[in-house]
Amino acid sequence: MATRRALSTLSLACLLVLAGCGAPFGASTTPDPTPAATGTEPGVTSTATPDGSEPSATERGVGPGDPAGVGESRRVAVRGGELPFNATVVYRRVERLLGVDEPVPEVVVGDRDAFDFSAIEPRPYQAALGLQAGSVSDCATFYSASGGDPISITQGTLSAEAVELIFVHELGHTFQGRASGSVDMTELGESSTYLTGGVAVYTTDRYAERYDKRWNGSRPVDVRECVYDEAPGAYRQTAGEIYFGARYVEERVDEPTNLSAVFESPPESAEAVVHRLEPGAEPVRSLDVRVDGGDRWAVGERRRAGEIELRAWLHAGLPDDQVDTAATGWGADRLVRFGDDTDPSVAWVLRMDSAGDADELADAVADLETDLESRNATELRSTRVGEATVVAFAGTESFVANATAGGTAGNVTVAAP
Same domain, 111 and 258: yes
Residue 3, domain member (yes or no): no
pLDDT tens-digit readout, 234-251: 999 999 999 999 999 999
Residue where one domain finishes, among candidates 219, 242, 273: 273
Same domain, 140 and 191: yes
| Higher-pLDDT residue of 383, 157 | 383
Same domain, 36 and 128: yes
Same domain, 124 and 31: yes
What pLDDT is attached to residue 177?
A: 81
| Residue 292 near residue 413, CB atoms below 8 Å | yes
What pLDDT is attached to residue 176?
A: 85
The mean pLDDT value of the chain amounts to 83
Q: What is the pTM of this model?
A: 0.84
What pLDDT is attached to residue 145?
A: 78
Same domain, 352 and 405: yes
Residues in Cβ contact with 58 at an 8 Å cutoff, skipping those fewer than 6 apart: none
What is the extent of the structural domain holding 123?
A: 16-273
Same domain, 333 and 406: yes
Tell me the average pLDDT across 174-193.
Answer: 80
Same domain, 294 and 269: no
Residue 282, domain member (yes or no): no
Residue 51 has pLDDT above 50, yes or no: no
Domains of the chain: total: 2
What pLDDT is attached to residue 141?
A: 64
Residue 153, domain member (yes or no): yes
What pLDDT is attached to residue 17?
A: 38
Residue where one domain finishes, among candidates 245, 273, 301: 273
pLDDT tens-digit readout, 306-363: 999 999 999 999 999 999 999 999 999 999 999 998 999 999 999 999 999 999 999 9
Cβ–Cβ contacts within 10 Å for residue 26, how many? 29
Residue 221, domain member (yes or no): yes
What pLDDT is attached to residue 41?
A: 31
Q: How far apart are CA 407 and CA 417, in angstroms?
A: 17
Q: Is 363 left (phi over 0), alpha (psi -120 to 50) or beta?
A: alpha
Same domain, 255 and 378: no
Tell me the average pLDDT across 166-174.
Answer: 91
Residue 197, domain member (yes or no): yes
Q: Among 8-17, 64-73, 139-148, 265-274, which stretch is predicted with the lowest mean pLDDT?
A: 8-17
Same domain, 197 and 76: yes
Q: What percent of the chain has pLDDT over 90?
A: 60
